[in-house]
Chain A
Amino acid sequence: MKPAGGLRPRLVKRLLPSRRIRVAVRLIALLGAFAVAGIFLQATGRGAGAVYRAMWTGSFGSPYGQAQTILAAIPLIFTALAVAVAFRMLLWNIGAEGQFYIGAFGATAVAYSAPDWPRWLLLAAMVVGGLVGGALWGLIPGALRAFFGTNEIVPTLLLNYVAILLVDYMVNGPWTDPATLGFPLGKPFSESAILPLVGNTAIHSGIYLALAAALSVSMVLSRTAWGYKIKVIGSNARAASYAGFSIPRNMVAVMLLSGALAGLGGMVEVSGVVHKIQANISPGFGYTGIIVATLARFSPIYLVPMAVLFGALVVSGTELQTLGLPSDIVLMLQGVILFFALAGELFVNYRLVWRAGTVSDHPSTPAPVSNRAADLEQAG
């Protein structure tokens, strides 16, 4: 081919993107997101450097910040796990928020009804309460989808409001603490309903539950027959029913597990952090969990560091307020990171080639291979 113009960029499909490429692209996307967000921060007049420094101090840069970051990461691990499990079957669980609330509700019900049980027994019962509550909240959309073909997105989303309002009602009514004179707060938990701390830190032992959950989910998904089945169902439902896997039954099971994981997150939060039930126990952990899971490519292992990163973002918002900046800057950062990560996917599956320009003035459309998630089709 004779060069007729300068060098022109073209996208060439990678047949099998390597792991190194995946990791590199995502790291670059993350750095790019902070760089671009920096431009906006500069425009606030405080200087991007100062803002980032404050965020660093508020999250990783101080012992207090570190503890807060981990404490915020723990519920995110649970909600992101819930989203990741459901997505194995290509189900979008937008309802981790509500399942989280219901898990907190279930755990609280146990804590209030048997406050004098020994700590190990009460905590175990609260774990069950959280799991059952969340699972029930996952069961409703799961069964609707499995047996009536109802799309799961809307029911999971709407059930969030039901759960939040239910908790609101309880803390304003039956469970309200008379000592707070009408604030929407429940009575403090008994001593044995509170998760012990890890050593001398401010971090509660829910972190063990979170890490154990991530490891078990990873193990179940990648190594068990059931995990294999739901992966097949997610990849090719026809092949799954051809192989004799029951799609409705597994769909319900996946949503039960998904809801239970988020519910466990709610239990850990009330028992480890709040030590009572109250309104607004979650600043949107269920929704941030969706971003965390997506950025971790729905991997139960990778979502742990991603949850820590987003935990840091959540807590650094508080630090920004002390600077007189709106904590919503953090939301902007979350958004920019998501955009960059999604755009980065293009470069995981395609590589940019600079080639001597010839006649055509649009990039090549790659061969459409039937592969749902990995392919970001070029809009011709």
Chain B
Amino acid sequence: MTSAIELRGIVKRFPGVVANSNIDLELRHGEVHALLGENGAGKSTLMSVLAGIYQPDAGSILIDGEPVALRSPRDAIQAGIAMVHQHFRLVKPFTVAENVLLGARTSWLLSPGRLEAEVADLAQQAGLKASPSARIWQLSVGEQQRVEILKALYRKARVLILDEPTAVLTPQEAEALFVTLRSMAADGRTVVFVSHKLSEVMSVADRITVLRGGKHVGTLETASTDEHRLAHLMVGRDIAFESARAPGEAGEIVLRVDDLHALSDLGLPAVRGASLSVRAGEILGLAGVAGNGQRELAEALAGTRPPTRGRIELYGADLTRASARRRIEAGLAYVPEDRLGTGLVGAMDATANVMLKSLSKHRRGPLLDYRSAARRTKDLVEQFGIKMSSLDAPVRLMSGGNLQKLLLARELSSSPRVVIAAHPTAGLDVGATEAVHELLLEQRASGVGILLISEDLDELLMLSDRIAVMYEGEIAGEVSADDADLERIGLMMGGTGADAPPMAAGGGG
């Protein structure tokens, strides 16, 4: 096998931080090469250099032995390198087809019908169920990612970089993705798989390069290594693989949802008669494949999506029609899945983001007391171990893990009584994930009722007292975590378990 790509001595600095420090990386034809590392290890930066988005401060890039200058993503695409980003680069009001063709087209004449037909073929290959004429904002996060992959496929990429691709996928979807990636490698293409999930890396990659703190710490053959060795390289210490959930005593019911119905952005029924209850001091895990109404359910609970039918009770009080404001005041904290899109204001600084839900606490007469808010932010930054260049920088410049910590810090420090956490560890590294888990368990121990929406079954099993499965807008079934049967949960997620009535197709759009 020859080298498809060689990166030599790549250095990339940002104000106050060296993201990549003299990194060498060799990628071969026909391999799946995993890039492993914690958040902030420099994986995304290195791949952005390869994708022509960032210009390295030093170092060179060789494609098939020839030195090249990749000065723009377009250069990279012309050189056959395509990247699927962690934060999607999609134009939300545009259709799937329009997004796929965006920038890939030389002709100025566009016929929507033909474009859609063209894309429909590829979409089928890529396993995208949504119609090419669907608009991006209507799609779930998982579907949006498949549009990104589709984009790369359409551009006939020879080197495909995927930045944390499974963060938003269910285990089944991830498996399907791995099959696609393997077959792409078998065709002689190079797949770079950026991840921090050890098991995924072990199951999909031929070789694994580990980065830590912006430095290259090793490249290993998958066949001759194991998860423990990788974990050690990645974090520089051994990590505990199991975090035990202390036996707790569940109290009264704090959140009760009864026969709730809500519509999706498309106006189609997304939540269709979901009923569940969360007790004080327990974690109810909500499993399910993306697009089965979890997001809509969470939004209906948080008050940003009006329920069409049903009842929501918090501590026995009917909050079905209450405003988001009243729910927050009643002690409902919500960690949305879309951190930068919903949970935080990217253009504003950390202090302004920390105040978002507690304006009344930071008042001095008629004015806002930014000083006390800044003090509180500083405390939270220390307490939650958040890394940022400065308190005044817009938070959009922060990494995914630190954004999530900031979001959790704000939500959990408001002494909530009920927490809805949607995919709280999606895209986080092992260390940050562990920290988030500990935070949730602490909340549980202090008597908070938690609804944990996740697609990571291991996470759900580790943290939850009970696990409910959502399928096509309904709760397909519920199991106690102690005698949870993975196979049964998997079946319910697939819609064949328990007593899920056969519904008409096309729920999620």
Query: Which chain A residues have a beta carbon within 8 Å of chain B's beta carbons?
Result: 1, 10, 12, 15-16, 219, 223-225, 228-229, 231-232, 235-236, 238-239, 241-246, 358-360, 362-372, 374, 380
Contacts and interface: CB of A to CB of B under 8 A. Distances in A.
B386 interface: no
B246 to A, nearest CB: 32
B269 interface: no
23 contacts: A16-B15, A16-B393, A225-B360, A228-B352, A228-B368, A235-B347, A236-B341, A238-B338, A238-B341, A238-B342, A241-B304, A242-B336, A243-B324, A245-B325, A358-B69, A360-B72, A362-B74, A363-B72, A365-B72, A366-B53, A367-B54, A369-B396, A371-B346
Given A236-B345, A360-B72, 10 more contacts: A229-B359, A235-B348, A238-B341, A241-B304, A243-B357, A365-B73, A367-B48, A370-B87, A371-B394, A380-B74
Contact of A232 (B71, B336, B345, B396): B345
B397 interface: yes
Nearest to A227: B368
Contacts of B55: 12, 364
Contacts, number: 115
A239 B344 contact: yes
B193 interface: no
B15 A244 contact: no
Contacts of B352: 228, 232
A380 B103 contact: yes
Nearest to B356: A243
Contacts of A231: 348
B367 A224 contact: yes
The CB with the most chain B CB atoms within 10 A, among A219, A228, A242, A367, is that of A242
A370 B348 CA distance: 12
A372 B326 CA distance: 31
Nearest to A4: B69
B340 A225 contact: no
Given A241-B304, A244-B323, A367-B53, A232 B356 contact: yes
A380 B72 contact: yes
B368 A223 contact: yes
B42 interface: no
B352 to A, nearest CB: 7
Interface string B59-79: 010000000110111110000
A197 to B, nearest CB: 33
A10 B71 CA distance: 10
Nearest to B369: A223
Interface string B320-359: 0001111110000010101011111111100010011101
B241 interface: no
Contacts of B69: 1, 358-360
Nearest to B355: A228
A371 B396 contact: yes
A245 B360 CA distance: 13
Contact of A236 (B68, B334, B347, B363): B347
Contacts of B108: none
Contacts of B48: 367
Contacts of B357: 243-244
A368 B357 CA distance: 29
Nearest to B359: A225
Interface in B361-405: 363, 366-368, 370, 393-394, 396-397
Given A225-B363, A225-B368, A367-B48, A239 B355 contact: no
Contacts of B87: 370
A229 B60 CA distance: 47
B367 to A, nearest CB: 5
Contact of B302 (A228, A239, A242, A366): A242
A360 B75 contact: yes
Q: A-B pairs with the 5 shortest C-beta distances?
A: A244-B325, A244-B324, A360-B71, A225-B359, A365-B72
Most buried by A among B327, B343, B393: B343
Contact of A242 (B324, B326, B394): B324
B346 A236 contact: yes
Nearest to B87: A370
Contacts of A360: 69, 71-72, 75
A371 B345 CA distance: 10
Contacts of B334: 242
B397 A15 contact: yes
B205 to A, nearest CB: 26
A242 B304 contact: yes
Contacts of A232: 345, 348, 352, 356
Contacts of B336: 242
A244 B345 contact: no
Contacts of A243: 324, 328, 356-357
Interface string B399-438: 0000000000000000000000000000000000000000
A3 B394 CA distance: 37
B75 to A, nearest CB: 6
Given A236-B345, A239-B344, A228 B359 contact: yes
Given A228-B352, A244-B328, A367-B53, A239 B303 contact: no
B355 A365 contact: no
Contact of A246 (B323, B327, B355, B366): B323
B95 to A, nearest CB: 19
A12 B345 CA distance: 25
A216 B52 CA distance: 47
Given A242-B324, A359-B69, A235 B303 contact: no
B143 to A, nearest CB: 18
A228 B52 CA distance: 37
Contacts of B75: 360
B187 to A, nearest CB: 28
Contacts of B393: 16
Nearest to A373: B347
A213 B125 CA distance: 61
B396 A239 contact: no
Contacts of B396: 369-371
Nearest to A355: B55
A242 B343 contact: yes
Contacts of A242: 302, 304, 324, 334, 336, 342-343
B359 A239 contact: no
A195 B334 CA distance: 54
B103 A359 contact: no
A371 B347 contact: yes
B8 to A, nearest CB: 12
Contacts of B74: 362, 365, 380
B89 interface: yes
B73 A223 contact: no
Contacts of B367: 219, 223-224
A258 B328 CA distance: 30
